[in-house]
Structure 1
């Protein structure tokens, strides 16, 4: 056929004859073609005939796990890149520590059993860390650092309640976007209301979720928490200890808590870690102390003293 002559379906549109537009249909267009097809036969109705990327039953097969790994890595990575997120401040912590506003209610509904009531009292005593997480997130978000066209120190949490909520709340009070990395659990765990909707992600695999926590992390604040928090913290310091990840500022908030629940000195005394490994992190009690050290570490031109976000919200 001579160039410029019409094809079997007639003369192509002028736009189709230009060099730049794509010549293949998009996957979504072809999916629409198949769904709009009037042909209904035993062959077209059988699952085998579905387009692979539209076949959920196929994608959920055990042997497609490597593909699902790729999808969980790629989806969040692509959307964070499109959102211009260059680096993050990650905030880990318990899903059970109440905000100061909810602490009184928690005490009022405490179990009459002495042991149960003591547990509630311990949680209520940690409500101060909700405020510290909120303040730290507010400080980082207020600084609004832009480098190479990307936003730096975007606050990132696990997307859930308590300390996680405090992190996203502090960012929201500074007028900034923040990230929530939720995980599918047998009991419901919905994103807290302060996570930026377009940066709210849900994961099936803990491994991929933890990878996204650290891919852009430039500082990590670890507040009192349980098994999940311990898992995230120890994996982080293991990556740095073994040289798989470059050192970044890591803060354990709450010296009293951490010295009580983990005897770091004893681990070093036993010889199973080096004494120098204890320098991989620093214990702090206030947001100001942590943020000041982050500013110094990266030589940022950001203030280290800022107004309380709670007071600003009240005004």
Structure 2
């Protein structure tokens, strides 16, 4: 029979450094070796983990950490919401507008303040989208059978503005929601309404994008800038080139999107086709967006909520 080791073992030779009696310099030399960066375990060596050569490892773990967490919670499908981080709820937008108005009273000819006033007025107008995105988050949150039902879960970029509003809507009804934050050079904070166990931070935009589309069964896009347009055209291109499954892509806010992107002009110029215009749908509000998504999946017989 194989001999079993007891919990108390005799000391092994390597458990103590070479003694001073054998070599007076031994302890000092061993200490220097153990303090060397090359002696660190790879995962405990920040210089190695941040090196150019270890980028492949960083990409892998950037993906894997979030993937394992979502598997743990049984996240099967997501509905992704994008939109501007600068759009605020009405009371905040009104407060900022009034603050600028007071400054202009003291400096009525200040061109910079007048530009800020124009933008603040536009932000008050766009605050309707904050309320609308919050309503859409509620629709997703109420689509399941309770807080533990993770078949269809809201996913956002985890930041403020429209992302906050959507996460807040799911939070309002006690449902889980996901936030995929990205590390940027300037300080930032996740919005407070994400489920803590599903709030992630990514190093790489590419891996973050992968998670956005990996489980997505619909993409809803509110008015936004560079980041919003980037994600919108990413999914339009993936669907156009058949590199991903076709999903409903809904753009909320007809007035904004008709002016922001002239799709008809692109078709007239021959750089997109009539079929490309069928990849997405422009609607007015959350109710229309939600109905379109439900009808789309019913027509495709995808059994999204089964």
- Give the structure-1-normalised TM-score: 0.82
- Structure 2 residue aligned with 1:264: 263
Question: Judging changes above 3 Å, is the alpha-carbon distance between structure 1 residues 297 and 145 closer, same or farther for their aligned structure 2 residues?
Answer: farther
Deviation at 1:118, TM superposition (A): 1.1
Is 1:179 matched with 2:169?
A: no
- Structure 1 residue aligned with 2:84: 94
1:41 is paired with a residue whose SS is helix
- Structure 2 residue aligned with 1:115: 115
**In structure 1, what is the Cα distance between the partners aligned to 2:259 and 2:119?**
15
Deviation at 1:174, TM superposition (A): 1.0
Contact 1:145/1:152 (<8 A) preserved:
no
Say which one has the larger Rg: 2
Flag as ranges the 4+ runs of structure 1 deviating above 3 A. 9-12, 37-40
Q: How does 1:11-90 map to 2 (within 5 A)?
A: 41-90=31-80
Q: What RMSD in Å do the two structures reach over aligned CA positions?
A: 2.2
1:188-243 superposed Cα distances (whole Å, 9 cap, x missing partner): 22111101111010011111111111111101110000000000000110000000
**In structure 1, what is the Cα distance between the partners aligned to 2:16 and 2:139?**
59
1:75-132 superposed Cα distances (whole Å, 9 cap, x missing partner): 1111111111101110000010111221211211226333321111111100000011
Q: 5+ unaligned residues in a row in structure 2: which ranges?
A: 9-14, 18-29, 105-112
**In structure 2, what is the Cα distance between the partners aligned to 1:211 and 1:98?**
27
Q: 5+ unaligned residues in a row in structure 1: which ranges?
A: 13-36, 303-315
**In structure 2, what is the Cα distance between the partners aligned to 1:184 and 1:11?**
46
1:143 is paired with a residue whose SS is coil
My pick for the range that moved more, 149-158 or 89-98, is 149-158
1:126 is paired with a residue whose SS is helix
Deviation at 1:62, TM superposition (A): 1.0
My pick for the range that moved more, 263-272 or 37-46, is 37-46
